[in-house]
Amino acid sequence: MNASHSLVSTAAATLSAMDSRAQTLVQVSGLGKMFTLHNQGGIRLPVLQDVTFEAGRGDCLVLSGPSGTGKSTLLRCLYGNYLATEGSIRIRDTQGWVELTGASEQTILRLRRNVIGYVSQFLRVIPRVSTLDVVAEPLRAGGMEAEAARERAAGLLHRLNVPQRLWGLPPATFSGGEQQRVNIARGFIGGHPVLLLDEPTASLDADNRAVVIALIREAVAEGRCLIGIFHDEAVRDEVATRILPIEPAVTAGALE
């Protein structure tokens, strides 16, 4: 990480400003998530129950478990997209611990700018914005000057083998694998201390999977904290520093 980057990129600056003895960045305790299906007569669907873990610098914590156990739901709770129905999620920023569950919109947005990044399974395409600017945006939000941000975006797109002829176009019409690589570039560029990854290699070929594995390992070596879902066992074995099994929730009084 060069000096100009850490000066202007808020997320990366957060990591260097943090007390390096503060190893733990995420503390989850007794977390539960119950969905209430209002358009289905208020059926209650328990998904996560009593999830407790810590993750910190240099971790790549991999969530594992069968389809439908709530792995993506857990990442969405950690990003403040879903409100947990029980328990606590604490995230460390430069000021200390912040409780995410029940936090104000403003606090959630601040944490997303400075601390938590998220590579969702699918790119949320912003109409009419070029790929280069989609990727550069997290650096611009941290105050980096446009040309410098675009240069870094170009470097990452190049590394992820996104053809240069596509950089000036909005990614809406790109293939699944191309969109996923744009999404990965956008997620990694900001240098967020905590990065959530939801199956980032699902639609990638072997060469690009290897690039993503390298990016993950570099982020871990820099002391960032990654929490991710990887269905591909070979990828999981290459990146995981720890595995967290997510158990299916049990409905109280459930019939067989």
Ligand X SMILES: Nc1ncnc2c1ncn2[C@@H]1O[C@H](COP(=O)(O)OP(=O)(O)OP(=O)(O)O)[C@@H](O)[C@H]1O
Residues in the site for Mg ion, rule: CB under 5 A?
72
Nearer of residues 93 and 198 to ligand X, judged by Cβ? 198
Q: How far apart are CA 185 and CA 80, in angstroms?
A: 21
- Which of the listed partners (Mg ion, ligand X, none) does 17 bind, with a CB threshold of 5 to 8 Å by partner kind? none
Four-residue CA torsion sign, 89, 91, 95, 101: negative
Q: Which is nearer to ligand X, 46 or 56 (CB)?
A: 46
Q: Which of ligand X, Mg ion, none lies near 11, with the C-beta cut-off 5 to 8 A by kind? A: none
Stretch that binds ligand X, among 7-15, 64-72, 104-112, 130-138 (CB under 6 A): 64-72
Residue 249 in the binding site for ligand X (CB under 6 A): no
Cβ nearer to ligand X, comparing 2 with 39 = 39
Q: Of ligand X, Mg ion, none, which one does residue 45 interact with (CB within 5 to 8 Å by kind)?
A: ligand X
Residue from 9, 10, 14, 73 in contact with ligand X (CB under 6 A) = 73
Kindly tell me which residue out of 57, 71, 186, 192 binds ligand X, with binding defined by CB under 6 A: 71
Residues 156, 137: Cα–Cα separation, whole Å: 13
Copy the structure tokens of residue 16: 């260097």
Among the listed residues 68, 155, 168, 176, the single contact to ligand X using CB under 6 A: 68
Give yes or no for residue 180 binding ligand X (CB under 6 A). Answer: no
CB 164 to ligand X: min, Å: 33
* Contacts of ligand X in 2-61 (CB under 6 A): 35, 45, 47
Closest contact distance (angstroms) between CB of 128 and ligand X is: 28
Answer yes or no whether residue 208 interacts with ligand X by CB under 6 A.
Answer: no
Residue 72 or 131: the one with the smaller Cβ distance to Mg ion is 72
Binding site for ligand X (CB under 6 A): 35, 45, 47, 67-73
